[in-house]
Structure 1
Amino acid sequence: MKTDKPSPKQEKEMVEHCSTEPVALITGAGTGVGAACAKRMATRGFNVVVNFRSSANEAEAVVRQCQSVGVGALAIQGDVERDHDCRAIVEAARHQWGRVDTLINSAGLTQFTDFPDLEGQNAEDFYRIYGVNVIGAYQMARAAAPLLKRGGIGAVVNISSIAGMTGNGSSIAYVTSKGALNTLTKSLARLLAPEVRVNAILPGLIDSGWFLNVMGEEDYTRIKDAFAASSALGEVCSPDDIAQVAEFLAVDATRITGQLIPVDAGALLGAGSVSVSRSLKGHA
């Protein structure tokens, strides 16, 4: 991957102002999995960049929680669909600490449609969802690559979905975007090696406030119970379950790269038995 190298002035500033502590940049970190990842990385001694698009109050709360364990943290607004924003987010980290050691691409977008309805989504829906889930992850990795490579032990963790493996999920655009993100993960692992490792986590249904807000309590409880019943472990994962694995991949898994790791309580063992979009049909 060809990336813009820091200018001589930027290199000098990075040397002069480089933090002795590692830095983790997490997109979509105001809520859910991203917020859990930020807090996990803070407990490992990382300074944390909490990126958000619209959840400003929540992002500031995450910053305070990270700071409470003795690390630096800052919230940066930006839309990963926009390359300019991606570069500005990375530049904020460079300006603050002179380095980025870990990038966790947690920003994501979906649209709930009746899955069998091929007329339920149009090209604009695909562009919008791919813009965040695939292009956004690529743009963030490209912007951060020079800093990730500089330390020689960089890591990228993409938050994908088992939907990209099963072909089943909230919408066709979402499912195919996660399949593309899985392929992007493998491509980036090749392109950024050996200085940077790149892996993806593939959650199943996540027990989070986001799903509850989108679906409403009745539908959410019904769907969550159905997913749990179809999973080998009889439950669904929490945001912290995903963050725990993200922490491992970012810090401890020094010989793992290019891997797609399901964290789904065994949902893949019952793949295809539950569809979020079809479960919502008639219950909106």
Structure 2
Amino acid sequence: MRDLEGRIALVTGSATGLGRSMAVKLAERGADVIVNYARSAADAEEAADLCRAAGAQVQVVQADVADPDGCRTLAEAAAQRGRLDILINNAGITRHARDHSDLNALSKADFMDIYEVNVVGPYLMLQATKPLLVAAQVQTGRASAVLNTSSIAGVMGIGSSVAYAASKGALNTMTLSLARALAPKIRVNAVCPGFIGTRWFKDTMDEDAFAKTLQAVEANTPLAAASGPDDIADAALFFVSDAARHVTGELLLVDAGLHLGKARA
């Protein structure tokens, strides 16, 4: 299915993990893709090669979304094509402090760093790309699509740290505000994954601990599943497709039912 043929998509933080999966799936469905990374050029080029193998034209752009100049650099890359049909604000960071009762685990600087990337970054990206998103709507008659990568943490107050959960809660609220404010030319939605078995988790633990984490996730989700990036990306791409043409301001939990908890016997 190449239902996104001819569309221009920009995915922030798309060198690895969920961002890479979404970029590749966009390419497989016909979109040309701007791959963004902050630090790992090798990972970004690998992601770009996968997109090219799917038939996409690809640009690779290094930029930090917490920096207005970085966001403008990304917008300039899209401007070379004259418009932007799809923006996925996927770049995100955390500080791991899973004991939320330990109020000494996070500093003011930790909070500010997380908010700069997870909340301010998506806002700055929209600020920089809004003219291009509007131009796409004018050219095609189809509302442009913005998708924010949020988290179950922002819905349930769980996850890697209090600051991370708070940032994703803020991103959810901003999604609602901007969906209302930018309509009808731009649709804005968010996907809220639960556990995803990517380097985000793997890099913080050894193999044995990661295996035990997978088992625990599977034991505590109604669907008895630990999601991978493709599982989230398949659901996320609904929002940027024409199937979601009447959908804006929605927050979709994709967590194998983790938010429900297991049914008690």
Q: Which residue of 2 aligns with 1:267?
A: 258
Q: Which one of 116, 121, 128 corresponds to residue 113 of structure 2?
A: 128
Q: Which residue of 2 aligns with 1:235?
A: 225
Could you tell me whether the CA contact under 8 Å between 2:86 and 2:145 is conserved in 1?
yes
Q: Which residue of 2 aligns with 1:58?
A: 43
1:176 equivalent in alignment to 2:166: yes
What is the CA distance between 1:209 and its match in structure 2?
Answer: 2.9
What is the CA distance between 1:151 and its match in structure 2?
Answer: 2.0
Q: Which residue of 1 aligns with 2:147?
A: 157
Q: Which residue of 2 aligns with 1:22?
A: 7
Q: What residue identity is the alignment partner of 1:47?
A: D
Could you tell me whether the CA contact under 8 Å between 2:24 and 2:54 is conserved in 1?
no
* 5+ long unaligned stretches in structure 1: 1-19, 272-284
What is the CA distance between 1:203 and its match in structure 2?
Answer: 0.3
Q: Which residue of 1 aligns with 2:200?
A: 210
Tell me the TM-score normalised to structure 1 length: 0.86
Offset from partner CA, 1:145-171 (integer Å, 9 cap, x none): 111112222000001001111111111
Q: Which residue of 2 aligns with 1:43?
A: 28
- Work out the CA distance in 1 between the residues paired with 2:231 and 2:133: 25
- Work out the CA distance in 2 between the residues paired with 1:137 and 1:165: 18
- Work out the CA distance in 2 between the residues paired with 1:99 and 1:84: 19
Q: What residue identity is the alignment partner of 1:260?
A: L
1:108 equivalent in alignment to 2:99: no
Instruction: Give aligned pairs, total.
Output: 251
What is the CA distance between 1:246 and its match in structure 2?
Answer: 2.0
Question: How many percent of aligned residue pairs carry the same amino acid?
Answer: 45
Offset from partner CA, 1:47-85 (integer Å, 9 cap, x none): 100000012111111111111122200110000110110
What is the CA distance between 1:224 and its match in structure 2?
Answer: 2.1
SS in 2 for 1:224: helix
Q: Which residue of 2 aligns with 1:196?
A: 186
Tell me the TM-score normalised to structure 2 length: 0.92
Could you tell me whether the CA contact under 8 Å between 1:31 and 1:55 is conserved in 2?
no
Bigger Cα displacement from structure 2, 238-247 vs 253-262: 238-247
Q: Which residue of 2 aligns with 1:7?
A: none
SS in 2 for 1:214: coil
SS in 1 for 2:203: helix
- Work out the CA distance in 2 between the residues paired with 1:22 and 1:51: 17
- Work out the CA distance in 2 between the residues paired with 1:183 and 1:215: 32
Aligned pairs for 1:67-106 (under 5 A) are: 67-95=52-80, 97-106=81-90
Divergent runs of 4+, >2 A:
none
Offset from partner CA, 1:173-195 (integer Å, 9 cap, x none): 00100000000110110111001
- Work out the CA distance in 2 between the residues paired with 1:109 and 1:156: 20
SS in 2 for 1:215: coil
Offset from partner CA, 1:226-258 (integer Å, 9 cap, x none): 122111100121111111122110013111100
Bigger Cα displacement from structure 2, 173-182 vs 148-157: 148-157
- Work out the CA distance in 1 between the residues paired with 2:203 and 2:102: 24
Q: Which residue of 2 aligns with 1:167?
A: 157
Q: What residue identity is the alignment partner of 2:225?
A: E
- Work out the CA distance in 2 between the residues paired with 1:26 and 1:87: 14
Could you tell me whether the CA contact under 8 Å between 1:233 and 1:266 is conserved in 2?
yes
